[in-house]
Amino acid sequence: MTQAATMVKCEVISGTIAGNECKPQDSSFKQRLLFALPRVLPFIMGGVTEGVLASLENTIKEKRKEILELQAQLRKTQLQFECKACDITDKTCNDEGSAQFESKNRIKEYTNAIINLNFDALKAEYDLQSALSNVKRLQQQSRRLMTQLDEATQLAINVQAAQNDPNVRIYKNDAIITAERTFEEAMREAYRATLVYEYYTGTSYARKGDLYLIRLISYGDKNLEAYLSQLEQAFRDFEETVGKPDQRVLVLSLRDDILQIPRVDENKTARNLNDRVNDLRAALSNPARINEDGYLAFPFEISVALGQSAVSPTTYNHKILYVEAEINSTAKGDDVARIYLRQAGTSVVRLKDTDSYQYYALPKVTAVINPFFNGAKVFSADVYRDFRLRDRPLGNTSWELIFNQVSEKANQDIDLNSISDITLYIYYTDFTKEN
């Protein structure tokens, strides 16, 4: 090796020998050099190769280090993006990264899944409770059917005994009788409602004959519920067509209308008011006017016939609303008095059709009226309005104006010779017919 090292200190360049330790040799030296060169060359090449590899390894290590740094930087950037959408060192940044956004979405998905699971659990519990209820219902139904079967079997054992069982017979008869009585009452009320409809409208109800064909409340072509529904609809149709009734007043004077004291004498000369008032006072003092109760009674009639009454010929179905009375007197005493107005005859209602009337035999009714004096109403207006005769027909064949001074203390301070007239104000309603 020493010899070889010494030999490599010389370089052979273009057939010359150069080197600081090379010496000219003779031909034998050249031969020895050529002989040793193959042995030394591998060592020379090995040293060169080791140097080159060492340099490459250093380069590779540096590149690998750079790659690792780039990978670390990439991981840092990825982590930064997943956590925040800005620089991780920026403390004021609140922008959510992809990881946070994805985690929130995942949490929401899990929350929705939990809610759906709770809903499914509640639904399953509801279905279970419903199934349990159905089971209980079926159990109760089975018990009822078994009980009915036992009762039927027991009754079938002895049919004659079942028929003669007093409990069965009494309950059955009672149920039948109660049903029949209730049905009859319902039919009676339906007939009464029909009469009220005809009385109010002044017309006849076309389906009134169906009441004789009704056998059931709710079933069948002609039943009671359908009849009442049709009656109500007919009333609504009447109101839509005709409207509400109008209010009017009829003024009746005892002197001029009821007693009809003449306004002219036998010579067709007009009589003065004083003479006619004296005739009224004579009538008030006439014992022939006293009825069986000892009261002064003045009978009269109110007609609703066409051309013979004070009501309008274009109206029909006249019904009383309320009545007021007035006494004209110069010696009235206090402000309280009472007059009786009685309706006792046959009531007459003019219908919508021309010259068509409906007659009613209604019970006798007496209204006790507080009259006002000389046109002055001292008390509330409601005191003077009497509704005792409300909804009764205005037309009647027998009215009576009664003045009681025998037992009515409120009238005993009135001087009959000071009365100049007694006036009735009958407020009524009617419908107007169109030509």
CA-based torsion, 223, 226, 232, 234: positive or negative: negative
Name which of 308, 270, 263, 250 is nearest 428 in CA terms.
Answer: 250
Q: Are 250 and 311 in contact (CB under 8 A)?
A: yes
Look at residue 93 and tell me whether its pLDDT is greater than 70.
Answer: no
Residue 13, pLDDT above cutoff 60:
no
Residue (of 64, 117, 399) closest to 252 by Cα position:
399
Q: Tell which wins on pLDDT, 27 or 25.
A: 27
Confidence of residue 40 (pLDDT cuts 50, 70, 90): low
Mean pLDDT of 331-359: 89
**Is residue 12 pLDDT above 70, yes or no?**
no
Residue 8 has pLDDT above 60, yes or no: no
Would you call 350 helix, strand, or coil by DSSP?
Answer: strand
Task: Please give the residue that has the higher pLDDT: either 246 or 154.
Answer: 246
What mean pLDDT is reported for the chain? 83
What separation in angstroms does the CA of 153 have from each of 73, 92, 158, 163? 96, 91, 9, 14
Question: In this structure, what are the phi and psi dihedrals at residue 428, rounded to the nearest 5 degrees?
Answer: -140, 170
What pLDDT is attached to residue 89? 60
Among 145-154, 159-168, 178-187, whose mean pLDDT is lowest? 159-168
pLDDT band at 300; cut points 50, 70, 90? very high
The answer to whether 408 and 313 have CB atoms below 8 angstroms apart is no
Based on C-alpha coordinates, what's the Rg of the chain? 64
- Most confident of the following: 79-88, 177-186, 342-351: 342-351
Name the pLDDT band for 204 (thresholds 50, 70, 90): confident
Burial call 291-303: b when 16+ CB within 10 Å, e when fewer: eeeebbbbbbebb
> Rounded to 5 degrees, what angle do the CA atoms 423, 426, 428 make?
165
More confident residue, 91 or 150: 150
Highest mean pLDDT among 109-113, 115-119, 248-252: 248-252
Tell how far CA 217 is from the center of its chain. 28
Q: Which residue has the tokens 């059709």?
A: 353
102: helix, strand or coil: helix
Strand locations in 256-394 (E) = 296-302, 315-329, 339-343, 347-350, 357-360, 365-369, 372-373
What does 186-226 look like in DSSP terms, one character per residue? HHHHHHHHHHHHHHHHTS--GGGGGGGT--BSSSSSSBHHH
Residue of higher predicted confidence among 2 and 121? 121
DSSP, collapsed to helix, strand or coil, labels residue 1 as coil
Burial pattern 350-369, b for ≥16 Cβ within 10 A else e, equals: bbeeeeeebeeeeeeeebeb
The model's confidence at residue 62, banded by pLDDT at 50, 70 and 90, is confident
Residue 54 has pLDDT above 70, yes or no: yes
For residue 65, the model assigns a pLDDT of 87
Residues 6+ apart with CB under 8 A from 341: 323, 325, 366, 367, 369, 386, 389, 399, 400, 401, 402, 424
pLDDT confidence bin for 6, thresholds 50/70/90: very low
C-alpha distances (whole Å) from 97 to each of 80, 106, 272, 422 are: 8, 14, 118, 105
For the chain, report the end-to-end CA distance as a whole number of angstroms.
157
